[in-house]
Structure 1
C-alpha cells in the first residue's frame, strides 16, 4: 500500500520544471494548470511508494522541495482533477505519470489493463473509453529518475561543425549497428558505449562519412498491444520522455548512468571528428489515440499537450498516423520542445536534429504554417539556429506534404530525389529531365526562395523501406515476420528484382552481377550528386532485411548490421569508401550555390552542361523524350560559383558522368571542342572501361551502368 507522508515538502520553486537535485532537498515542479492536486511519488528499492502533496502553486506550476531525496531516486506524479473526456479532461490519480522533464527513466512498460486511463477489463478487451479506470498503474509503468547534474569530463570536446556542403549523413540505429560487431565486447553491444567503442568509431571514420544520424534515442516504449501480442517497437518512434536517453541503450545502468554513457558516446565520436544528429519525434507521443495508455501528458494537461478535435474533445486530431498529434502550437508544448532541444545541444552536445513528420510541428490550429510559432522560435533561437536542422517535410494530414517549403535554416529529406533515382535505374522514369534536377541540387524546389543546394538531403534508402540490396532484389515487400499478414509497409517501392524474387536468386551469377552493378550505380549517383547525401547504414556492404520494408518491430538479425558482409561483398565497401573520398577531395560535387548553366567567365565553359549520347548538348526535344534512358552530366571545376573563406576562387578538376539505365549497351560520343581534349576513366560501375579516351570518340557503355570520367585538357 502507498504511504502518504504527513510532513509537508518545503515550498521549493516553480522553475525549472522537472526534478532539480540538491544535496539538501530535491525540487519537483510540474506544469498542470487545471489540476486540483499533484502528488510526487517516491519509490524505494522494494517498490514501496511514498506520496508527497506538492503544496505550492505559482502561476500554473505545482512545486515543492523534498528533503533527503538523492540522485537515482525513482519517482512519478499523480495528478488529481476531473475526468471528463467530452471536455478534453482526463485526470486520473490512479495512474502514475512520467515527468515530462525527466532527465532519465527507469524500467519498461508492461502490457497490463492498468496502464490505460479508461476502464479496460483485460488486454483482449478495449473497454469503455468514457469511464475512468481505477486500477493502480505504478507496478506496470516506467519511473522517472532524479539525476545529479554533476560535471562531465568532456576532455576539451569541441563540436566538429562540418559545413553543410561537406556533410555526408549516415543513418543508423544505436542497438542495431553494434549488436553483431565481433570486435566490440558482448556487454557493450547495442549500447551507447558500443557505438562509442574504438572499433565502431574506426569503421565510421574509415568509411568516410562526417555525421552520424541516430534513429530515436529519446526514452520510448513499445505500444501495449504490440507487447501483448509478443511484439515490440524496435525503431523507437514512440517517445515517452523528451529529455531522457533511452535506458535500454545503456550498458551502465538506468538510474542516471544512461546520461553519462550517452555523453561518453558523443565525446568519442566528436574526438574522431564525427557529428551526432538525433532523429527526434516531437510530433506525437507514446500515448496513442483515445484508447491508448495514460503514461504522462494525457494525465497532466491533455487538451493543452495534444490537438483535440474542437467538435469532440474526447477525440484527437491525428496528423501523424499514430493516434495523436503533439500540440507544439500551445505555449506549454512549444516551451517543452524548445527546452528539450536546447538541453540536447547544451548539456548533451549533439550537433543537430532530424525532425520526424516535421509538418505536424508547423501546424497551428489545423493548417501547416511555416510562419507559425515553432518555425519562428527556432529561427530566432541563438543556440538552435546554429545547429543542423533536417525536416522530414510531410505528415499524413491534409496539406502535409511540404517538400521545398521549409524556411532558410532548414534542410529536407528530398523524396523527389529518392523517387527519381530509383525510377531511372529501374528503367521506369519518363525520360531524364527530372533526374537532371535531382543530380544538380533540386533547384526547382529550393532556388526560388534563395535556399542553397544543401537544402536537399539526397537519399535513395532510409530506415523505413527497402535497404539498397533489397531494392534491387525484390519487386514486392515481404513483411510477414511483422505479424500483420503483410498489410503494413508501403507498396510504392519503385524496386526491381532483376529477374527473380529474393536474395536467394543471387545464386544465379548473371542476376547477382546485375544486382551488384545496380547497387554500385545507386551509390555512385547519390555520392556524385549536388546536395547532402544520406547513406543508410549497411548499404555500403550489402545489408538485407530479406524484403521487409517496415522492420519497425524486428529487434533481431533482420535489422542488425551483419559484420560478415564486408568479407562477402568487399567491392561494395571499397567502392563506397572510394566515392566518399572522391567527394571529400572535389568541391565540384559539393556545390554551395546552384548551377546556372552559363559560363562563370565570359567565353568559358558552362558551370554545368548536359549531354545526349550523340555527344551534343541536350536539345529541348530530348529533354522531353520520355524514352531517353541515358544522360551525360559535365561538371566544370573552373565554374564553381562560391568562394573560399578569404574570397578566393575555388577551382577543381572537371568531370563527365554518364548515367545509362538502358537494357542494352550503348555507344556514346565524348564531348569535344571546348569541353575536353581527352577523358580519363575514374570509375565504371560495369568495370568494363579504363584508361584514356580522346574527345570526339565513342565509348560503349555497358547496359545499366554509370561511368565517371576526368576531363583532360
Structure 2
C-alpha cells in the first residue's frame, strides 16, 4: 500500500513579520520580552507550519524553515503572551507504516503552558477519510475551528519565598480530591469561584482541610484534558480528567480567570495558599496515554506531530496501537523524546508550579520495556537520578491492564505505591469474609511482606479503602451491586466484585438498625485505615458521608452525583474521622518509620514493640495465624520501642496502645493482658459511638471485657507510677 501526502491547501503567509531561525531549546513557546521562540520535536515531518490566531479566529501560517536534531524551530518578533497558536505538520499519511501526518489538522503544542478553547465533536477531528480508517486516504477538512489552541504564557508569579513543603512521609495524611467536585456546591464559596482552583484555595474549604487534619491534597488530573468522542456523542463529558491533552497546562475548565493564561496564575495562587495552610499539593498525572485514543480516535497533537515517535505501535500492524491502558494508546517511554517530554513536564510542575509530588496513573505502563514491566526501565533510572523529581513525593498506581501489569510491591525505591492489597484485605475483613487475620496483620503494620525486601520503609505503602474509582465509603456499606446506568453503558462498566457488604439491605434504608450498622461499619473501616502503619489516604467526601447513589464508576458524571453535597453532611462522622486523624498525628507509634521487629524491649519486663493477642489473652499461635475463621485480633504497639529518632537525634518515645478489632457479628469476650503489658487501659476511641468518643473517660482493668460485634477499640495503655 502506498503512502499519500496530503496537499498543502493553504500556503504559508507571513503578514506579521518574518519567522527568524530562533533556537531548538527549550521546547514549547517562550517569550523573551520582545518576541517568542517556538520549538517542536518531530522526527518524520517533511514540513511544519506555525499557525497564529487573531482574536477573531483569523489564522496566519508561518513555515518553519529550521530543524536541529529533529526539532523544528523559529522566532517571531512582536509575538507575546496571550497569543493563540498551533501547528500543522506535513508528511506521509500512511497508517500501515505508523505515519499519520495531515496538515488539515491543527495540532496542540505538547509543551504549551496554557490551552484556550474546547473540543467540539466534528468529523474533521479525525485524520482519516470517512470510514477508511486503515487506508492512506487522509481527511482534508480543517479541524482548527473545533480543537483547542495553545497560548503563549509569561507569568512572573510572586511566590514570596514559597517552596515545596517536604512533609515527611510518616507524618503525611493524604486527601484525594477533585478540584471541581470539592467546591461546586459549597455554600460558603462565592458562586464565581466554585469548582475552580480559587475555590479549592478559598478559606472555607481550606478550613475544612485543617479541621480534618490532612497534610496533603492529591488532586485528580489537572493537566489539560478533553472528553472522549464516545462520551460527547452520549451527551456526557470526562469528569475525572484521565484523558490528557497538555502535560504542561493547568486544565482551563477549573479556572475562574478564563483560558487566556490566567489559569496558570490561579493554579499557582492555589498552591501558595495551600502551602501557607500547611498542606502539600500532589498531582495525579496521566503519562501512560493521551486523549487521542486508538486508531479511530481524533488527531489533536502527538498523533499528527509524529505518531510513531510518541506512541507504542503494534509490531504486527503499525496501523494499530499497543494498549496497556485500556484507553486506546500507550506512550512509548522507551524513546528519548517521549522520556524527555515526561521529565520536562514533571520538573516544570515542581520548579515553576511548586507542587510537592505526583501520583502516576497506571504506572506499570511507564515501566514496560518490550512487553514486561521492568524494574530497570529507563523511566525509573531517569527519575531516580533527577535532582528535582527524585526529591518530591512519588506514588505509583502499580498496575495497568496488560499481562503482568499488577505490580503491587515491585516498584523500586524511592517509589511509594497505592497498596491495592491493603484495600482488598480490609474490605474483606469488614465484609465478613472468612479470611482470617494473617494478611490483615501485614496490612496493619506497613505490609512488610511487600516492601521490606528492597530496603523500602512502611511508608512505601499508601493505604486506602476507597478512592475516586469505585464506591464511596458510604456506598460501600449500602450497595453490593453497582448502579452505573447513568453512564450510558447498560451498567457494564465499573468493577462488579467490590469485596463489600450492604448490611443486609440493598440501597438506602429507613430501618434504624440497618442505618446504625452501616454507620458503625464506616467507622470500622476508617479506624482500621488510620491506625495502620503506612500512609493513609482518605477520599474527599467520605468523611462527610458522601454518596454517589451506587455509581462506582462516575468518571463521566460532572454533576451532583460526583460533587460533594455540603448541605447533606454527617457531622458526627466528620468529628469521628477528625478525632482519628488527630490521634494518629499525635502518636508516633501509629506512624512508624521502620518496620516492627517483634523484639523484646529492654527494661520493659518482657513486652515487645509489636505483639498480637488472641481473644483469650494469649499471643497468637501458628494455628491461630492460619485459622480462617478467626475474626478478632488484638494489636499491641509499644511506644517505647520506636526505632527512629527525631531531627535532633533523640529517641522517639510514645504511649503504648492496644487495638482490638472484632469483625464478627456477635459480641465476644476478650482478655485484656495485664502486667507487664499494662496495668490498665483507657478507651480513647470506640466505633460503638457516633463520634468515637466514649461518653466518659473509661479505664478498663486487665482481664475479661465484652467487645461488641463489629467494633474497633483503640486503648491507651495505663501504667502505675
Q: TM-score range by the shorter chain?
A: over 0.9
Cα distance in structure 2, aligned partners of 1:658 and 1:482: 41
Change (3 A) 1:581 1:126: farther
The aligned counterpart of 2:613 is 611
The aligned counterpart of 2:62 is 52
Give the deviation of 1:23 after TM superposition. 3.4
1:187 to 189, 192, 195: 192
1:4 to 12, 24, 37: 12
Backbone CA RMSD of aligned residues: 1.4
Does residue 1:454 correspond to 2:476, yes or no?
no
Measured against aligned partners, the alpha-carbon deviations of 1:581-618 in whole angstroms (never above 9, x if no partner) come to 10110000010000011124265411010011101111
1:18 to 28, 32, 50: 28
2:396 to 378, 391, 394: 391
Equivalent position SS for 2:153: coil
| 1:2 and 1:48 in contact (8 A); partners too | no
Give the deviation of 1:129 after TM superposition. 5.8
Cα distance in structure 2, aligned partners of 1:488 and 1:126: 29
Change (3 A) 1:690 1:518: farther
Cα distance in structure 1, aligned partners of 2:289 and 2:334: 13
The aligned counterpart of 1:488 is 493
Change (3 A) 1:127 1:327: closer
1:304 to 301, 309, 334: 309
The aligned counterpart of 2:598 is 597
| 1:111 and 1:225 in contact (8 A); partners too | no
Give the deviation of 1:689 after TM superposition. 8.3
Cα distance in structure 2, aligned partners of 1:206 and 1:382: 35
Equivalent position SS for 2:676: helix
Give the deviation of 1:62 after TM superposition. 0.8
1:65 to 75, 98, 110: 75
Does residue 1:584 correspond to 2:585, yes or no?
yes
Cα distance in structure 2, aligned partners of 1:692 and 1:552: 45
The aligned counterpart of 1:259 is 264
Cα distance in structure 2, aligned partners of 1:639 and 1:177: 40
| 2:99 and 2:306 in contact (8 A); partners too | yes
2:661 to 659, 662, 670: 659
Measured against aligned partners, the alpha-carbon deviations of 1:420-440 in whole angstroms (never above 9, x if no partner) come to 111111111411110000000
Does residue 1:624 correspond to 2:629, yes or no?
no
Equivalent position SS for 2:217: strand
Cα distance in structure 2, aligned partners of 1:387 and 1:667: 47
The aligned counterpart of 2:153 is 147
Give the deviation of 1:636 after TM superposition. 0.5
The aligned counterpart of 2:575 is 574
| 1:129 and 1:291 in contact (8 A); partners too | no
The aligned counterpart of 2:411 is 406
| 2:151 and 2:261 in contact (8 A); partners too | yes
TM-score in terms of structure 2 length: 0.96
The aligned counterpart of 1:425 is 430
Equivalent position SS for 2:224: strand
| 2:681 and 2:702 in contact (8 A); partners too | no
Cα distance in structure 2, aligned partners of 1:692 and 1:563: 34
TM-score in terms of structure 1 length: 0.97
Does residue 1:636 correspond to 2:642, yes or no?
no
Equivalent position SS for 1:546: coil
Measured against aligned partners, the alpha-carbon deviations of 1:636-671 in whole angstroms (never above 9, x if no partner) come to 011111122232111000010111010111111101
The aligned counterpart of 1:199 is 204
1:34 to 44, 51, 55: 44
Equivalent position SS for 1:65: strand
Cα distance in structure 1, aligned partners of 2:438 and 2:695: 27
| 1:420 and 1:429 in contact (8 A); partners too | no
The aligned counterpart of 1:551 is 554
The aligned counterpart of 2:4 is none
The aligned counterpart of 1:529 is 532
| 2:119 and 2:146 in contact (8 A); partners too | yes
Gaps of at least 5 residues in structure 1 are none
The aligned counterpart of 2:5 is none
Does residue 1:701 correspond to 2:707, yes or no?
yes
Cα distance in structure 2, aligned partners of 1:378 and 1:190: 33
Map 1:79-478 → 2, pairs under 5 A:
79-120=89-130, 130-148=136-154, 150-478=155-483
| 1:678 and 1:692 in contact (8 A); partners too | no
| 1:677 and 1:694 in contact (8 A); partners too | no
| 2:133 and 2:295 in contact (8 A); partners too | no
Cα distance in structure 1, aligned partners of 2:696 and 2:315: 67
The aligned counterpart of 2:6 is none
| 2:23 and 2:39 in contact (8 A); partners too | yes
Cα distance in structure 1, aligned partners of 2:606 and 2:58: 80
Measured against aligned partners, the alpha-carbon deviations of 1:219-273 in whole angstroms (never above 9, x if no partner) come to 0000112112211100000000000000000001101110000000000000001
Give the deviation of 1:130 after TM superposition. 4.7
Equivalent position SS for 1:253: coil
Equivalent position SS for 1:457: strand
Cα distance in structure 2, aligned partners of 1:328 and 1:600: 49
Equivalences, count: 704
Cα distance in structure 1, aligned partners of 2:111 and 2:320: 25
Give the deviation of 1:127 after TM superposition. 5.6
Cα distance in structure 2, aligned partners of 1:184 and 1:394: 37
Give the deviation of 1:4 after TM superposition. 3.1
| 1:106 and 1:254 in contact (8 A); partners too | yes
Gaps of at least 5 residues in structure 2 are 1-8
